[in-house]
């Protein structure tokens, strides 16, 4: 588990201000959702946190250490999961340990038993142990994303950063992937950051929420504070109606219940 400090992070691309002096602290083990519309700066924030992108100003500290280059303790999961289709789920998961063994050792799968055990445990965490030998390209989009999560877990990270991990999935697969991310974070006590644009999924799984709008942090709080007014501020002029429509199990949308709760004064 690692504590994260984001300190006055600013990133510009020419005239475009992708991140505008973002600061927050996240204690070890928290499950954080970064919310915002396309272009609000979510990917840039995650990329700066993992040192894949160099900030223009400011810094990210992991347990007090500035992030100046990518480190294996921080694993990144992408929307397009970047797994190798011709390799099995197991081989993809095993490749997450490449930082601990040499390139050729990894390509030739000469890892030791511990490494192989880690890959199998990671597949187990994401519910794919029975599919370990399945070629990744024969798997569904949701399963492929879970292979991507297993590969990240084999890295043995302390921090998991997932950039829109469910954006290209159908609603059912999106819920599955979120459940497995939550399970992985809980079982392995990971500090977790997931960027999403779907409010309903964010509310269902998030513990803490950071809202970005035009590169600025407009919200930082917990579920009970994520009111409809806050959501309006994060999403601006965009109609959020469609972002709430999904299977949450009780037949009401979070937007409805938030409105109802506001009227009755109850917590959402
Ligand atoms: N490499 C880059 N070069 C130039 N501009 C960029 C680059 N990366 C991001 N931007 C700009 O920075 C702003 C924030 O982009 P970013 O991708 O971080 O947003 P986002 O919320 O992740 O959006 P999306 O969900 O569409 O990826 C946007 O205006 C985007 O066009």
Instruction: Render pLDDT for 192-217 as a digit per residue (tens, 0 to 9).
Output: 999 998 888 999 999 999 999 999 99
Greater pLDDT, 82 or 48: 48
Q: 215, 186, 199: which is closest to 253 by C-alpha? A: 199
Distance 49 CA to ligand 1 centre (A): 15
Greater pLDDT, 14 or 103: 14
Distance 169 CA to ligand 1 centre (A): 21
Q: Provide the pLDDT confidence category of residue 1 given band limits of 50, 70 and 90.
A: low
Residue 18 CB–ligand 1 contact under 6 Å: yes
Q: How far apart are CA 68 and CA 30, in angstroms?
A: 23
Average pLDDT, the chain: 86
User: What structural domains does the chain harbor?
Assistant: 1-73+158-268 (3.40.50.300), 81-156 (no CATH)
Lowest mean pLDDT among 1-5, 201-205, 225-229: 1-5
Residue 157 CB–ligand 1 contact under 6 Å: no
**Whole-prediction pTM value?**
0.87
Q: Which of 43, 47, 161, 194 to mutate to test the pocket of ligand 1 (most atoms within 8 A of CB)?
A: 43
Residue 42 CB–ligand 1 contact under 6 Å: yes
For ligand 1, what atom is nearest to the CA of residue 19? Answer: 14
- Angle of the 171-188 helix axis to the 113-125 helix axis, nearest 10: 130
The length of the chain is 268
Residue 210 burial by CB count (10 A; 0-12/13-18/19+): exposed, middle or buried? buried
Q: Pick the residue whose CA is nearest to atom 3 on ligand 1.
A: 13
Judge whether 89 and 123 are in contact, CB under 8 Å: yes
Residue 39 CB–ligand 1 contact under 6 Å: yes
Model confidence pLDDT, tens digit, residues 22-49 = 999 999 999 999 999 999 999 999 999 9
Distance 42 CA to ligand 1 centre (A): 8
Q: How far apart are CA 181 and CA 250, in angstroms?
A: 23
| ipTM, interface predicted TM-score of the complex | 0.96
């Amino acid at each position: 588990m690692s504590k994260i400090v984001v300190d006055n992070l600013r990133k510009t691309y020419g005239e475009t201000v992708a991140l505008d002096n973002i600061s927050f602290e996240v204690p070890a083990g928290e499950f954080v959702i970064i919310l915002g519309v396309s272009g609000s700066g979510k990917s840039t924030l995650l990329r700066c946190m993992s040192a894949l992108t160099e900030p223009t100003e400011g810094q990210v500290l992991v347990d007090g250490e500035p992030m100046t280059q990518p480190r294996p303790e921080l694993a990144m999961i992408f929307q397009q999961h970047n797994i190798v289709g011709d390799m099995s789920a197991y081989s993809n998961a095993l490749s997450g340990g490449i930082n601990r063994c040499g390139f050729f050792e990894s390509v030739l799968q000469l890892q030791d038993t511990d490494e192989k055990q880690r890959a199998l445990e990671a597949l187990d965490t994401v519910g794919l142990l029975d599919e370990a030998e399945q070629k990744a390209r024969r798997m569904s989009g949701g399963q492929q994303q879970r292979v991507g999560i297993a590969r990240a877990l084999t890295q043995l990270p302390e921090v998991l950063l997932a950039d829109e991990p469910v954006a290209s999935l159908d609603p059912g697969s999106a819920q599955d992937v979120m459940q497995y991310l939550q399970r992985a974070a809980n079982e392995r006590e990971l500090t977790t950051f997931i960027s999403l644009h779907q409010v309903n999924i964010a509310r269902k799984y998030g513990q803490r929420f950071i809202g970005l709008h035009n590169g600025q942090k407009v919200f930082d709080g917990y579920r009970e504070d994520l009111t409809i007014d806050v959501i309006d501020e994060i999403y601006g002029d965009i109609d959020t109606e469609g972002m709430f429509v999904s299977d949450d199990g009780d037949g009401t949308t979070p937007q409805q219940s938030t409105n109802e709760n506001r009227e009755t004064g109850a917590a959402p």
